Amino acid sequence: MLALGKLLELTLAGREPTEKIQLTSGGVRLHWLGEGALDVTPPATEDSGLDLLLSAGVHGNETAPIELLDRLVQAIARGQLKPRARILFLLGNPEAMRRGERFVEQDINRLFNGRHAESSGFEAMRAGELERYAAAFFSKPERARLHYDLHTAIRGSKIEQFALYPYVDGREHSRLELARLRAAGIDAVLLQSKTGITFSSYTYAHLDAEAFTLELGKARPFGSNQEVNLDRLEARLHSLIEGREPEFDDGNLDGLQLFSVSREIIKHSDSFQLHLAPDIENFSELPVGYLLAEDIAGTRWVVEEEGARIIFPNPRVRNGLRAGILIVPADV
Domains of the chain: 3-242 (3.40.630.10), 261-329 (2.40.50.630)
For 154-220, list the strands marked E by DSSP.
162-165, 188-191, 210-218
Longest alpha-carbon distance in the chain: 66
Pick the closest to residue 87 from 45, 165, 33 (CA basis): 33
Q: What is the model's pLDDT at position 228?
A: 85
Q: What is the pTM of this model?
A: 0.94
Q: What is the model's pLDDT at position 246?
A: 83
Q: What is the model's pLDDT at position 332?
A: 61
Provide the percentage of residues in the chain whose pLDDT is more than 70.
98
As a whole number of angstroms, the distance between CA 252 and CA 19 comes to 47
List, for residues 189-207, the tens digit of each pLDDT value.
999 988 999 999 999 999 9
Contact between 162 and 138 under an 8 Å Cβ cutoff? The reply is no
Give the catalytic positions in this structure. Answer: 215
H or E element: which one contains 284?
A: strand 284-285
List, for residues 221-276, the tens digit of each pLDDT value.
888 888 789 999 999 999 999 999 887 666 678 889 999 999 999 999 999 999 99
Establish whether 62 is an annotated binding residue: yes
Establish whether 151 is an annotated binding residue: yes
Q: What is the model's pLDDT at position 171?
A: 94
Q: What average pLDDT does range 147-173 have in this prediction? A: 94
List, for residues 94-106, the tens digit of each pLDDT value.
999 999 999 999 9
As a whole number of angstroms, the distance between CA 95 and CA 59 comes to 10
Establish whether 238 is an annotated binding residue: no
